[in-house]
């Protein structure tokens, strides 16, 4: 299951320059390679002005309805009473901190290989942008032991236990959210029988955005949508995540310790025949503190046929394809992927 998700990425190797992050702490000024043409402050005035994704209580009897509305309007929502213990999430951030604070020469011992999917490195979307991001990542699919053993040969167990426990808890929550969403969409038993089995795709991504000397010109994570059914995200104290909304621009999602952000991904956008948006989001950095986040990507197995759900005689807006095929198309085209599989001329969304 997890091995097949890494296999789906194996056919799309990256160049080393797009895998090895800079030794960020050695820079007092922003290098030109990381200076983005347009600044990030154009929508700063929109920060925390109330026009933001809703906070939904999973225990609220209206949760299902609210989730449906949020997915239609934003492609994202925040979730409280989600059942994941806060101390586990805090441990994940602590372990991430322990890892990312190592010198570069230690971290690159677990460097993602050119055709690999797991380990330490820059964001996979890096080759699609003219500048580099102010970001380091660590990708986990299943047990991270093979990768962390390279860094901590005698002291890898605690890290692995925490990450595996996190994936286990996230999976349970992801199944609950999937059941709610599939209920809203009226997805058939045939289409949802993978939910709750062990035949699904998952990945845990640790993100680190070091404190940056020139944050307005830098980019933490470039605008993207996630290649998942949906993604569950926890940001540690520092804000930086921004979600794009048509007619509004990028709005900051302030972190709340006990709240998770759920982002609808491309697969759900396709499955719902565009009823649910997939949120376009990015991460901005700051010059005061380091920022950490942890993201859990969840979706159907790679050989699952993603077919848009058509209601009341409406036409499918996308052609049906497997998760693996979609990953392949996106690996070559990034945001062009949805338009490429669109059945409507000049419309991917
Ligand atoms: C299961 C996934 C989802 C991946 C690819 C693979 C492993 C790593 C994920 C991320 C994490 C960082 C942002 C992103 C855009 C990236 O560059 O790597 C994500 C990407 C996607 O959502 O496409
Ligand atoms: O760091 C964040 O808040 C967002 C990370 C993200 O978008 C991702 O990992 O896909
Ligand atoms: Fe993302």
Q: What is the pLDDT of residues 325-348, one digit of tens each?
A: 999 999 999 889 999 999 987 654
Ligand 2 near 236 CB (within 6 A): no
Q: Per residue in 55-71, pLDDT tens?
A: 999 999 999 999 999 99
* Closest listed ligand to the CA of 236: 2
How many structural domains is the chain composed of? Answer: 1
* Cβ neighbours for 153, distance < 8 A, ≥ 6 positions apart: none
Q: Which structural domain, as residue segments, surrounds residue 120? A: 5-24+45-300
107, containing H or E segment: helix 104-107
* Closest listed ligand to the CA of 233: 2
Q: How far is the CA of 104 from the centre of ligand 2 (A)?
A: 22
259 is a domain residue: yes
* Cβ neighbours for 52, distance < 8 A, ≥ 6 positions apart: 251, 252, 253, 254
Counting Cβ atoms within 10 Å, is residue 19 exposed (0-12), middle (13-18) or buried (19+)? buried
pLDDT for position 3: 52
Q: What's phi and psi for 325, nearest 5 deg?
A: -65, -40
Position in ligand 2 atom list of the atom nearest CA 209: 1
Grouping H, G, I as helix, E, B as strand and the rest as coil, residue 46 is helix
Q: How far is the CA of 314 from the centre of ligand 1 (A)?
A: 32
Say yes or no to pLDDT of 186 above 90: yes
Residue-wise DSSP of 273-331 = TTSS----EEE---SS--EEEEEEEEE--TT-EE-PPP-TTPPPSB--EEHHHHHHHHH
Say yes or no to pLDDT of 80 above 80: yes
Average pLDDT for residues 271-291, to the nearest whole number? Answer: 96
Say yes or no to pLDDT of 203 above 80: yes
315 is a domain residue: no
Ligand 2 near 293 CB (within 6 A): yes
Q: Per residue in 128-181, pLDDT tens?
A: 999 999 999 999 999 999 999 999 999 999 999 999 999 999 999 999 999 999
Average pLDDT for residues 86-93, to the nearest whole number? Answer: 98
Say yes or no to pLDDT of 45 above 60: no
Fill in the DSSP letter of residue 234: E
* Cβ neighbours for 161, distance < 8 A, ≥ 6 positions apart: none
Biggest CA-to-CA distance, the chain = 60
pLDDT for position 100: 98
119 is a domain residue: yes
Fill in the DSSP letter of residue 203: E
**CATH number of the domain bearing residue 78:** 2.60.120.330
* Distance in angstroms (rounded) separating the CA atoms of residues 252 and 278: 17
349 is a domain residue: no
pLDDT for position 1: 44
Among 96, 221, 254, 335, the mutation site with the greatest number of ligand 2 atoms within 8 A of its Cβ is 221
Q: Characterize the bridge pairing of strands 230-235 and 136-140.
A: unpaired
* Distance in angstroms (rounded) separating the CA atoms of residues 8 and 326: 10
Instruction: For residue 319, indicate whether it is catalytic.
Output: no
319 is a domain residue: no
pTM over the 0.80 mark: yes
Counting Cβ atoms within 10 Å, is residue 59 exposed (0-12), middle (13-18) or buried (19+)? exposed
* Residue appearing with tokens 């929550």: 173
- The share of the chain scoring above pLDDT 90, in percent, equals 87
332 is a domain residue: no
Say yes or no to pLDDT of 189 above 90: no
Cα 179 from chain centre: 20
Q: How far is the CA of 184 from the centre of ligand 2 (A)?
A: 26
238 is a domain residue: yes
pLDDT for position 312: 85
292 is a domain residue: yes
Check 112, 124, 291, 317 and give the catalytic one.
291
């Amino acid at each position: 299951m997890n091995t097949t998700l890494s296999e789906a990425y194996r056919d799309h190797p990256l160049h080393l320059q797009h895998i090895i992050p800079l030794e960020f702490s050695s820079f007092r000024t922003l290098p030109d390679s990381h200076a983005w043409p347009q600044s990030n402050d154009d929508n700063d005035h929109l920060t925390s002005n109330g026009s933001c994704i809703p906070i939904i209580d999973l225990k609220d009897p209206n949760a299902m309805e609210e989730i449906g509305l949020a997915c239609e309007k934003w492609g994202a929502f925040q979730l409280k009473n989600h059942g994941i213990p806060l101390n586990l999430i805090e441990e994940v951030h602590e372990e991430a901190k322990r890892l990312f604070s190592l010198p570069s020469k230690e971290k690159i011992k677990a460097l993602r290989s050119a055709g690999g999917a797991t380990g330490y490195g820059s964001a996979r979307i890096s080759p699609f942008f003219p500048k580099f991001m102010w970001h380091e990542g660590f990708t986990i699919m299943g047990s991270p032991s093979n990768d962390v053993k390279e860094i901590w040969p005698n002291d890898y167990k605690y890290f692995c236990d925490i990450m595996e426990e996190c994936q286990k808890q996230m999976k349970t929550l992801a199944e609950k959210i999937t059941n709610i969403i599939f209920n809203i969409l009226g997805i058939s038993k045939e289409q949802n029988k993978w939910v709750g089995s062990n035949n699904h795709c998952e990945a845990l991504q640790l993100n680190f955005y070091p404190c940056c000397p020139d944050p307005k010109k830098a980019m933490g994570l470039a605008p993207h949508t996630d290649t998942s059914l949906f993604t569950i995200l926890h940001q540690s104290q520092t804000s930086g995540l921004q979600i794009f909304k048509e007619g509004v621009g990028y709005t900051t999602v302030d972190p709340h310790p006990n709240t998770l952000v759920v982002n609808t991904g491309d697969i759900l956008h396709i499955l719902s025949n565009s009823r649910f948006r997939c949120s376009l989001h990015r991460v901005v950095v700051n010059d005061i503190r380091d920022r950490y986040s942890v993201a859990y990507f969840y979706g159907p197995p790679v050989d699952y046929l993603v077919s848009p759900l058509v209601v009341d005689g409406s036409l499918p807006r996308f052609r049906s394809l497997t998760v693996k095929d979609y990953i392949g198309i996106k690996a070559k085209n990034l945001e062009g992927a949805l338009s490429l599989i669109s059945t409507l001329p000049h419309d991917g969304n």
